[in-house]
Structure 1
Amino acid sequence: MHTTIDNHNLNERSLQLLKALVERYVQDGQPVGSRVLSKDSQLNLSPATIRNVMADLEDMGLIRSPHTSAGRVPTVSGYRLFVDSLLTVQPVDKKLLNKVNSEFNASMEKDEVVEKASRILSEVTRMAGVVTLPNREIVQFRHIEFLKLSNNRILVIFVADEQEVHNKIIHTDRTFSAAELQQAANYLNSIYAGQSLAEVREAIVQDLEHNQHQVNQAMIDAVTMAQQVFENTSHEDYVVSGQTNLMDFSELSNMERLKQLFEAFNQKQSVLHLLDKCQHAEGVQIFIGEESDYEPFQECSLVTAPYSVEGQVLGVLGVIGPTRMAYEKVIPFVDVTAKLLGAALKSR
């Protein structure tokens, strides 16, 4: 997902200077000069000595000098070394933790809980909060009904888990009678009820491929209709809040860059692909700048964590902001919010 920077060639002085530089730049947003760094690093080194160390860090690709300033700023590699080896994570304040936990009202539906988590991430970090909707792969199929409409259209009503009712209109190659539709529903309910949607979809494909010579036409018709119903149930969406917060950061305020970011949020497909990578990894994941391999996020970092119920990962949540973010605060807050969201969903 990212390249780990080997810090064995850096002595303690160089690492401490890099840490001080990153922290100062995150705080002020201005290139950091040697005089400022000599005060922050607490190493009692002269600005001249610090300039030499900074030159070495620049040769290693860990910092760079913007054209308009004599100071230095971290590169993606510098941020990566800082996050992996030098970061001192701050625990989430207990008052904030209790406040966030209280935001998940017991009367909320599942989708409302997900939306609330997205808003909480945005409001606390002052960046963009994103949460994927719970993965429908693990939802259990309970019951299905087919109702005849005009022009070979059929309204499908299927129940997932205990209370989720979904409607979908499908088109068929021929006209079915009400009796045929009832027979199809009875067959599907008797065969697939209690299985997850992923299992149902896989079984349907296998039934169509292998059992056509062993079952009658009515069963084939039932499975064919069911395939239309369940073929897209695994599609995930996400909720994003606070995109306009990104306009407050000077490094993202370029109108063309903002346009790319907002278009990415609206198109969703590539962002979902990126979030999917995070969902299938353990713990907090961090993409810094070009590590995402996604052009609109070249100046951004994405900090994510999966959320789960009873050990089953349902989705992923995270914060999108500039590479110049307070990682020591954002990382633990994303992690704890994922745990609180999982707990809130479990209670439902």
Structure 2
Amino acid sequence: MSDDRRLDVLRAIVEDYVQTHEPVGSRVLVERHGLGVSPATIRNDMAALEEAGYIAQPHTSAGRVPTDRGYRLFVDKLSTIKPLSAPERKAIQVFLEDAVDLDDVVDRAVRLLAQLTQQVAVVQYPSLRRSALRHLELVPVGETRLLVVIITDNGRVEQRVLELDDPVPDHIVPELRARLNATVAGRRLIDLPEPLEEMATGFAVVDQPLVQRVVHVVEDTLAEATEERIVLAGTANLARSGTDFTQTIRPVLEALEEQVVLLRLLSEMAEDSAGFTVRIGRENQHAGLAETSFVAAGYGSQSEPVARIGSLGPTRMDYAGTIASVRAVARYLSRILAG
């Protein structure tokens, strides 16, 4: 049996099943796809694919459906990713560029991706640990209170208020602000502790307590677990995925409610050379997501993404279209945050 022809048969089965949600028979393959061989040959190819674990027969006398292994081979052999149309690309650009801040960008991106894929969209907030610091501001808000504002290169803003025992000296704020920005500007937050400690030792002894308090606030901020958060949109799309999937929708919804599950998945989905990652069925390693696939791509920069964006839906999703949409939104998201 020709491996190329077997792959063509598998591709046809996947495409038809994604479109119709019905098991695919040999007669349908002959009628819909110009495979250039007889129905008997198609049946032999399907039998070989079934024996190899790429397709399965859900019911006696029924056609065949792809297995997780079949979807994996199909995705790995995708030669082209269906491009978005020019109007779609323009709509993405305009919609995201109108955002006013990082929260708005993330909210728009997740809603847009859910609309494009008609699946669940997941956006991970930019990680402080993988971000670079653009500016650090100190603002006295009373005699004994100091507001510390941390602004990252991707637009994330964190604010902390320091409650002090003594009044803030007038001379220290401008000097500390200048030295802090000279030390931290352009550096990743994960690389800051040592330079910050070295900078603090350069101040007069009398100013050391305040300087150390500010330094510790910055260090504590990047250590906080609250940085790991995600935003979901399009959960209702799962209910429109067809009766074969909605029968298993409850465990999927329960898994989505546990954000730690999605965060772990996103952290495990390291970027590959194609710029995206696909987890299919039980590859997700969570029982509640065994009937789903997850397509994710990094955003922020090609060398080191600061976070990920993805789309989750039934294993019989339109992989080419989903990959194209995820990559497009991630690309525009990266451009906006870089600007």
Structure 1 length-normalised TM: 0.78
- Per mean C-alpha deviation after superposition, the further-off stretch among 135-144 and 161-170 is 161-170
Paired position in structure 1 for 2:244:
251
* CA deviation string 1:203-255 (max 9, x = no partner): 57x88xxx9xxx9983666655554344217823222110110111233312x
Unpaired runs of at least 5, structure 1: 1-8
Deviation at 1:149?
Answer: 11
Aligned pair partner of 1:158 in 125, 142, 149 = 149
Structure 2 residue 159 is the aligned partner of structure 1 residue 167: yes
Structure 2 residue 9 is the aligned partner of structure 1 residue 28: no
Identity %: 30
The letter of the residue matching 2:106 is V
The letter of the residue matching 1:252 is F
Report 1:70-89 matches (<5 A): 70-86=62-78, 88-89=80-81
Flag the 1:266–1:169 CA change in 2: closer, same or farther, 3 A: farther
Structure 2 residue 165 is the aligned partner of structure 1 residue 176: yes
- Per mean C-alpha deviation after superposition, the further-off stretch among 217-226 and 135-144 is 217-226
Deviation at 1:127?
Answer: 0.9
Aligned pair partner of 2:132 in 109, 131, 138 = 138
Q: What is the alpha-carbon distance in structure 2 between the residues aligned to residue 103 and residue 95 of structure 1? A: 12
Specify the SS of the correspondent of 2:293.
Answer: strand
The letter of the residue matching 1:271 is L
Say whether the 8 Å CA contact 1:80–1:288 is kept in structure 2: yes
Say whether the 8 Å CA contact 2:143–2:167 is kept in structure 1: no
Deviation at 1:147?
Answer: 7.3
**Paired residues, what number?**
327
Paired position in structure 2 for 1:294:
286
Flag the 1:166–1:223 CA change in 2: closer, same or farther, 3 A: closer
Report 1:127-276 matches (<5 A): 127-136=119-128, 137-140=131-134, 142-144=136-138, 157-161=148-152, 166-168=158-160, 176-179=165-168, 190=179, 192-194=183-185, 195-201=187-193, 218=209, 223-224=215-216, 226-232=218-224, 235-249=227-241, 250-254=243-247, 257-276=248-267
Paired position in structure 2 for 1:4:
none
Specify the SS of the correspondent of 1:71.
Answer: coil
Say whether the 8 Å CA contact 1:251–1:299 is kept in structure 2: no
Unpaired runs of at least 5, structure 2: none
Q: What is the alpha-carbon distance in structure 2 between the residues aligned to residue 338 and residue 142 of structure 1? A: 27
Report 1:111-130 matches (<5 A): 111-130=103-122
Aligned pair partner of 1:278 in 247, 269, 273 = 269
Deviation at 1:202?
Answer: 5.9
Specify the SS of the correspondent of 2:227.
Answer: coil
